[in-house]
C-alpha cells in the first residue's frame, strides 16, 4: 500500500546518522546527545532530520537530539556487531563483510543486535578497531541467549507480548484464531496460565488450552522496554568508556 | 429466481418452507447481538444471552418496517465453517434469494468485524455493516468515523446499541439501500489464478464463485467434499488444484489470504478509528470478578457458592416453601374442595374419577404441572437466565476444560451440558457448537444419561432439602463419577481425538432485570404450554390403564425389578412409566409420594438416582434421533435404560449392605 512505501527514506536517514557519528568520532569527540554536528554531515537532508526530531537547530549550530543520538547509536551498534559476526564467525573477507554489514545494519533491530552481542560475548570493538557502543545486554552482563520469539507457553502471567505468528498448518484453526484477533503484530497480554490460558487482545478475551498456546508464537515485550530505558542511561556509558 | 444450491444435501437448512420473499440475513461474530437486532427488526421475542452460541438454529420473521424476511443465524467467526452451527449459518448465505446481508459486529472489536466484512463483500451480495454495542466502545474511548468507513468499504455503515434500541432508524434507513461494494483485494497471483481455476469448475451459486473458491482455498481439504459433495469429479479436480497451489506457495494458503485481508483491515482502522487514551474505561469490579472466577481456587469457590445459592433458592425456597403453599393451601384448601364438591353431584362415577380421582386430570395432572413443577422450574429459570446474562458460563468452560478432557470433550462442551440443566431437548440441539461428531455423540450421551433438566433438578433439590445437604453432595459426586466413567469409556470406544479448546470470553455484564424477567417469562410460558398437554395425556393413560387392569398387571410384571431389585414401593412403577413421557412427570410423582411418606430417605435416594439416569423424555429422544441419526440415537436410549436400572440396583444393594442411612 502506498503509504508504507516511502522509498528508502528510513535507510537514507540511518545512513546520515551513521555518517554524523563517524564524523564525530574522527574529530575525537565522544558522540552524545547534544553534540554539535558539522552541518556538512547532514547534507541536503537537514530539513528532514529536523522534522523527524533527530537533530535540532540552535542558533547557527546543529545539535543531535536524544532521539537522534539513540537512533545513531543503534545503527552504529548494529553495523559494527554485524561486521564482527561476519568476520569472526562467518570468516568473510573485508570487502564482502563491509558490503553485507551495510545491509544488515538496517535489518537488525535492537533485540536482534542484543542477541548477536550476547552470542559474540559482548565484543567492545569492531574488526577495524572502532568502539561498539554497548547495549543493555552488555550492562546486564547477559551470557545466555534468549530466543526472540517464544511460544505463548513460555510467558509468565501478566506478561505482554506481540504475536509473531501462529504456527499451525491447520487452515481452519488459523482462520478461527485470526478471527478471534490472534493476528501477527497484535499486542497480547497473558492473563493467566491455569486452569486454561487466557489472553487479552484489544477488547477480546480468549481462553484456550496448551495445544493452542504452543502454536502461538510471540515476541515478549520486556526486552523492548529495556531498550527504551537504555536511552536514558547514556551518561553511565560515557563514564564507563573513559 | 431461486436456484437450489448443490449444497442442500450436505448443508441442510434448519427450516424449509419459507416464503419466496427477499431475505435480509443477519450474520456476524458470536455474541455481538444479532438476536437482539433480529428482535428490533421483527418485533419478535428471541432468547438473548451473554455467551457465544446462544443461537444455534436459524430463526426468521417478517420485518415490521422493511420489505424483507429477516433471518437470524448462529454466530460465525469466519467464512470457513468451524463447527456445525457455523455451517448452518453459512448455508443461509448460499440458500438464494438473499436481498441483503446485514453484518452485525462489535464496535469494540473492529479488527475482527472488518476481517469478516471483507470476506462477505467478496460474495458480491449487497452488505450493510452494523457496529453494535457502540455504547461500550464509546466508554472505552474508541471514536469510529462511520461515514469514512462507509466510504472506504463502499457499503452503508451504522452504529447501534441494540439493548437500548438506539440507532434503529439509521439501521432501517441503511437496510433499505444496501450496496454491492467495488472493493476488491488483490491476493497473491498464485492464489488468484488458483481461485479462477476453481471458479471454472463450480456450477451456479447465488454468490460469487470467487468467494467460494477463496473459502475453499482457506479451508481444509475435507471442506471441499462437505461443500460440493463427496467423490464428484469437480471436487476431485478442485482438491487437486488446492493441493498443487499449496505445494507451490509453502505457507498455508489461509495465511496468505488472511494476511492480505488483515493488511487492508489495518489500513481501514488507521483511517477511521481513534482511541482517546485516558478515557479508557473498565469496571474495576468486573475486572476483579473476572480474575477471581477463572482462578483455579477462586473459581472453584465461586462455583460452589453459586451451587449453594441455587440449592437454597430453587430447592429450599421454591420447591419447599412455595410448592408447599401452593399444593397444600392454594390447591388443597382453596381450589380443590369446591371443585370436588361441585363434581360430587355428577352422577357418573367414571367422570368424577376421571377428573378428581386418584388418577384425575385435575387432582393429578393439573396439580402436578401447576403446583409442583411450575414454581420450581420458574425459580430455576430465574437463576439460570441471570447467570446466562452475566457472562459467567464461558468462564466455567475455562475451569472445567481439563476435567472434560478426560471424557474426550473440551471446555466448549460446558455450554450444552449446562443448558441440559435447563432442558435436555434444547441441549441436544446445542451440541452443534461442538467441532466433531465424536464430541457431539459423547455430549449427547452424557446429557441423556445423567443431566437432570430444570424441573427434575428443582424437584431433586426439593427432595434433598428434606433429606439433607450432605446426601445431596454425595448424590452429585456419585452422579458425576458415573457420567465421567461413561464419558471416559465412550471416548475410548469412539475413534478420534479431543479437539483443542479455544473460546472467547465475553465481558462480564450486569444483567438487565427486564431481560432476565422476559427470558424467564418466555421460558416458563413455553414450558407450561408444552408440558400441560403431556401431563394430562399421561394422567389419562394411567387412568385408562388402571381402569382396564393393565396398570396392576404391569406393576406385577415389573415387581421383581422395582420392588425386588431396587427395593422401591410398587407404586413407583407408575412413575417410571410416566418417565417415558416427560422427565418432570416422574420427578413430580416421586416428589409427591415421598412428601406423603410413602418412601423412606434411602428409597428416595435410590429412586432419584434411577430417575436421573433414566430415559430422556419423548421430545428429547426425537431430537437425539434427529441430530445424531436413528442408529446412534437408539443405541444411546437403550444403553441409558439398561444402565439406569442396573446402576440403581447396585447402588441399592451397596447402600443396604453398608447400612447407610440418611
- Which residues of B fall within a CB distance of 8 Å from A1? 263, 267
Residue A237 placed within a domain: no
Q: Of A146, A161, A192, at which residue does a domain stop?
A: A146
Whether residue A42 lies within 8 A of chain B, CB to CB, comes out as no
Q: Is the pLDDT of residue B442 over 90?
A: yes
Q: Show which of residues 54-93 on chain B sit within 8 Å of chain A, judged by CB atoms.
A: 77-78, 80, 82
CB atoms within 10 A of CB B624: 26
Query: Stretch B528-545: mean pLDDT, rounded?
Result: 84
Whether residue B108 lies within 8 A of chain A, CB to CB, comes out as yes
- Which residues of A fall within a CB distance of 8 Å from B394? 207
Whether residue A214 lies within 8 A of chain B, CB to CB, comes out as no
CA distance A48 to chain B (A): 24
SS3 A159: coil
Q: In a 10 Å sphere around its CB, with 0-12 CB exposed, 13-18 middle and 19+ buried, how is residue B434 labelled?
A: buried
- Confidence grade of residue A9 (pLDDT, cut at 50, 70, 90): low
* Percentages (nearest 5) of helix, strand, coil residues in chain B: 65, 5, 25
Q: In a 10 Å sphere around its CB, with 0-12 CB exposed, 13-18 middle and 19+ buried, how is residue B349 labelled?
A: exposed
Can you name the residues that pair with A205 across neighbouring β-strands? A200, B505
Q: Tell me whether residues A209 and B263 touch, CB distance under 8 A.
A: no
Please give the DSSP secondary-structure letter assigned to residue B596. T
Residue A29 placed within a domain: yes
Minimal-distance CA residue of chain B relative to A207: B503
Asked if A91 and A167 sit in the same domain, the reply is no
Asked if A6 and A56 sit in the same domain, the reply is yes
State the Cα–Cα distance between residues B98 and B68, nearest whole angstrom.
10
Number of domain units in chain A: 2
Residues contacting residue B614 through CB under 8 Å, at least 6 positions apart: B576, B579, B583, B586, B640, B641, B644
Range of the structural domain that residue A14 is part of: 1-146
Q: What is the pLDDT of residue B13?
A: 37
Residue A74 placed within a domain: yes
Can you name the residues that pair with A160 across neighbouring β-strands? A189
Minimal-distance CA residue of chain B relative to A170: B220
Q: Of A129, A146, A163, at which residue does a domain stop?
A: A146
Q: Is the pLDDT of residue B148 over 90?
A: yes
Residue A68 placed within a domain: yes
Asked if A203 and A139 sit in the same domain, the reply is no
Residue-averaged pLDDT of chain B: 85
- Confidence grade of residue B468 (pLDDT, cut at 50, 70, 90): confident
- Which residues of B fall within a CB distance of 8 Å from A190? none
Angle at B366 between CA B362 and CA B367, to 5 degrees: 90
Ranges A212-226, A228-242, B268-282, B575-589: which has the least confidence: A228-242
- Chain A to chain B, count of Cβ pairs less than 8 Å apart? 134
Q: Please tell me which residue, B270 or B580, carries the higher pLDDT value.
A: B270
Joined grid coordinates for residue A230: 537504555
Whether residue B502 lies within 8 A of chain A, CB to CB, comes out as yes
Asked if A79 and A186 sit in the same domain, the reply is no
Q: Show which of residues 10-39 on chain B sit within 8 Å of chain A, judged by CB atoms.
A: 29
Q: Tell me whether residues A207 and B411 touch, CB distance under 8 A.
A: yes
CB atoms within 10 A of CB B341: 10
Asked if A179 and A118 sit in the same domain, the reply is no
Q: Is the pLDDT of residue B489 over 90?
A: yes
Q: Show which of residues 259-278 on chain B sit within 8 Å of chain A, judged by CB atoms.
A: 259, 262-263, 267
- Confidence grade of residue B174 (pLDDT, cut at 50, 70, 90): very high
Q: What percent of chain B has pLDDT over 70?
A: 95
Q: Is the pLDDT of residue A242 over 70?
A: no
Pairing type for strands A36-37 and A55-58 reads unpaired
Joined grid coordinates for residue A70: 539513540
CATH number at residue A28: 1.10.10.10
CA distance A223 to chain B (A): 24
Q: Tell me if the domain spanning B1-281 has CATH number 3.30.70.2740.
A: no
Can you name the residues that pair with B144 across neighbouring β-strands? B273
Minimal-distance CA residue of chain A relative to B395: A207
Whether residue A158 lies within 8 A of chain B, CB to CB, comes out as no
Whether residue A1 lies within 8 A of chain B, CB to CB, comes out as yes
Residue A64 placed within a domain: yes
All CATH 3.40.50.300 domain ranges of chain B, comma separated, are 1-281
Whether residue B394 lies within 8 A of chain A, CB to CB, comes out as yes
Query: Stretch A214-241: mean pLDDT, rounded?
Result: 54
- Confidence grade of residue B301 (pLDDT, cut at 50, 70, 90): very high
Whether residue A168 lies within 8 A of chain B, CB to CB, comes out as yes
Asked if A178 and A196 sit in the same domain, the reply is yes
Asked if A175 and A123 sit in the same domain, the reply is no
Residue pLDDT, tens place only, B111-139: 989 999 999 999 899 999 999 999 988 88
Amino acid at each position: 500500500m502506498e503509504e508504507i512505501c516511502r522509498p528508502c527514506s528510513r535507510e537514507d536517514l540511518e545512513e546520515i546518522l551513521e555518517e554524523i557519528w563517524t564524523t564525530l568520532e574522527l574529530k575525537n569527540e565522544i558522540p552524545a546527545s547534544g553534540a554539535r554536528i558539522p552541518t556538512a554531515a547532514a547534507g541536503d537532508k537537514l530539513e528532514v532530520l529536523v522534522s523527524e526530531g533527530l537533530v535540532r537547530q540552535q542558533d547557527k549550530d546543529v545539535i543531535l537530539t536524544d532521539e537522534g543520538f539513540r537512533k545513531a547509536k543503534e545503527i552504529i551498534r548494529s553495523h559494527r556487531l554485524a561486521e564482527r559476526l561476519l568476520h569472526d564467525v562467518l570468516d568473510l573477507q573485508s570487502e564482502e563483510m563491509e558490503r553485507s554489514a551495510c545491509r544488515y545494519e538496517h535489518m537488525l533491530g535492537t533485540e536482534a543486535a542484543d542477541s548477536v552481542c550476547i552470542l559474540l560475548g559482548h565484543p567492545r570493538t569492531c574488526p577495524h578497531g572502532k568502539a561498539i557502543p554497548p547495549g543493555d545486554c552488555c550492562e546486564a552482563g547477559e551470557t545466555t541467549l534468549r530466543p526472540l520469539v517464544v511460544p505463548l507457553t513460555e510467558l509468565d502471567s501478566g506478561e505482554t507480548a506481540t504475536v509473531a505468528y501462529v504456527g499451525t498448518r491447520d487452515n481452519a484453526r488459523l482462520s478461527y484464531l485470526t478471527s478471534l484477533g490472534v493476528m501477527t503484530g497484535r499486542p497480547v497480554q497473558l492473563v493467566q496460565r491455569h486452569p486454561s490460558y487466557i489472553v487479552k487482545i484489544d477488547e477480546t478475551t480468549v481462553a484456550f488450552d496448551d495445544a493452542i498456546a504452543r502454536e502461538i508464537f510471540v515476541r515478549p515485550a520486556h526486552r523492548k522496554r529495556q531498550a527504551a530505558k537504555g536511552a536514558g542511561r547514556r551518561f553511565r556509558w560515557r563514564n564507563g568508556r573513559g | 429466481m431461486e436456484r437450489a444450491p448443490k449444497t442442500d444435501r450436505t448443508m441442510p437448512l434448519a427450516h424449509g418452507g419459507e416464503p419466496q420473499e427477499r431475505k435480509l440475513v443477519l450474520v456476524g461474530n458470536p455474541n455481538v447481538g444479532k438476536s437482539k437486532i433480529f428482535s428490533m427488526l421483527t418485533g419478535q421475542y428471541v432468547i438473548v444471552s451473554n455467551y457465544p452460541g446462544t443461537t444455534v438454529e436459524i430463526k426468521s420473521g417478517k420485518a415490521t418496517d422493511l420489505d424483507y424476511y429477516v433471518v437470524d443465524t448462529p454466530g460465525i467467526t469466519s467464512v470457513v465453517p468451524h463447527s456445525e452451527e457455523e455451517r448452518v449459518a453459512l448455508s443461509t448465505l448460499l440458500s438464494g434469494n438473499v436481498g441483503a446481508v446485514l453484518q452485525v459486529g462489535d464496535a469494540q472489536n473492529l479488527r475482527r468485524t472488518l476481517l469478516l466484512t471483507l470476506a462477505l463483500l467478496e460474495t458480491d451480495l449487497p452488505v450493510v455493516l452494523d457496529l453494535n454495542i457502540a455504547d461500550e466502545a464509546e466508554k472505552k474511548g474508541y471514536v469510529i468515523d462511520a461515514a469514512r468507513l462507509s466510504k472506504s468499504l463502499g457499503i452503508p455503515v451504522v452504529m447501534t446499541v441494540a439493548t437500548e434500541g438506539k440507532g434503529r432508524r439509521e439501521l432501517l434507513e441503511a437496510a433499505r439501500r444496501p450496496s454491492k461494494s467495488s472493493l476488491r483485494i488483490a491476493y497473491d497471483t498464485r492464489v488468484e489464478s488458483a481461485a479462477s481455476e476453481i471458479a471454472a469448475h463450480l456450477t451456479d451459486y447465488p454468490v460469487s464463485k470467487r468467494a467460494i473458491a477463496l473459502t475453499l482455498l482457506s479451508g481444509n481439504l475435507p471442506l471441499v467434499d462437505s461443500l460440493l459433495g463427496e467423490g464428484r469429479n469437480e471436487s476431485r479436480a478442485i482438491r487437486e488444484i488446492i493441493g498443487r497451489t499449496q505445494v507451490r506457495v509453502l505457507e498455508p494458503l489461509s495465511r496468505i489470504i488472511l494476511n492480505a485481508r488483515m493488511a487492508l483491515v489495518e489500513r481501514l482502522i488507521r483511517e477511521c478509528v481513534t482511541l482517546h487514551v485516558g478515557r479508557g474505561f473498565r469496571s474495576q469490579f468486573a475486572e476483579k470478578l473476572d480474575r477471581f472466577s477463572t482462578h483455579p481456587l477462586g473459581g472453584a469457590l465461586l462455583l460452589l457458592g453459586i451451587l449453594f445459592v441455587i440449592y437454597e433458592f430453587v430447592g429450599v425456597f421454591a420447591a419447599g416453601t412455595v410448592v408447599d403453599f401452593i399444593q397444600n393451601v392454594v390447591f388443597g384448601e382453596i381450589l380443590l374442595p369446591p371443585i370436588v364438591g361441585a363434581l360430587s353431584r355428577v352422577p357418573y362415577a367414571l367422570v368424577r374419577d376421571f377428573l378428581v380421582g386418584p388418577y384425575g386430570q385435575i387432582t393429578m395432572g393439573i396439580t402436578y404441572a401447576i403446583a409442583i413443577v411450575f414454581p420450581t422450574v420458574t425459580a430455576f429459570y430465574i437463576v439460570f437466565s441471570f447467570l446466562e446474562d452475566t457472562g459467567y458460563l464461558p468462564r466455567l468452560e475455562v475451569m472445567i476444560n481439563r476435567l472434560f478432557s478426560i471424557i474426550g470433550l473440551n471446555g466448549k462442551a460446558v455450554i450444552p451440558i449446562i443448558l441440559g440443566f435447563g432442558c435436555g431437548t434444547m441441549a441436544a440441539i446445542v451440541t452443534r457448537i461442538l467441532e466433531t461428531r465424536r464430541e457431539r455423540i459423547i455430549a449427547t450421551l452424557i446429557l441423556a444419561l445423567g443431566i437432570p433438566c430444570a424441573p427434575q433438578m428443582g424437584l431433586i433439590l426439593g427432595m434433598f432439602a428434606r433429606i439433607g445437604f450432605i446426601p445431596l453432595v454425595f448424590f452429585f459426586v456419585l452422579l458425576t463419577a458415573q457420567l465421567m466413567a461413561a464419558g471416559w469409556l465412550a471416548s475410548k470406544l469412539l475413534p478420534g481425538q479431543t479437539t483443542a479448546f479455544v473460546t472467547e470470553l465475553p465481558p462480564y455484564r450486569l444483567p438487565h432485570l427486564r431481560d432476565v424477567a422476559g427470558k424467564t417469562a418466555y421460558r416458563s410460558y413455553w414450558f407450561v404450554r408444552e408440558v400441560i398437554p403431556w401431563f394430562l395425556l399421561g394422567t389419562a393413560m394411567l387412568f385408562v390403564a388402571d381402569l382396564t387392569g393393565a396398570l396392576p398387571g404391569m406393576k406385577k410384571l415389573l415387581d421383581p425389578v422395582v420392588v425386588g431389585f431396587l427395593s422401591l414401593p410398587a407404586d413407583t412403577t407408575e412413575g417410571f412409566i410416566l418417565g417415558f413421557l416427560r422427565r418432570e412427570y416422574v420427578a413430580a410423582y416421586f416428589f409427591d409420594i415421598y412428601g406423603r411418606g410413602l418412601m423412606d430417605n434411602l428409597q428416595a435416594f435410590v429412586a432419584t438416582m434411577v430417575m436421573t439416569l433414566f430415559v430422556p423424555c419423548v421430545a428429547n429422544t426425537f431430537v437425539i434421533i434427529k441430530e445424531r441419526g436413528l442408529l446412534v440415537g437408539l443405541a444411546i436410549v437403550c444403553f441409558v435404560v439398561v444402565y439406569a436400572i442396573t446402576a440403581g440396583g447396585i447402588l441399592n444393594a451397596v447402600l443396604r449392605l453398608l447400612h447407610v442411612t440418611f
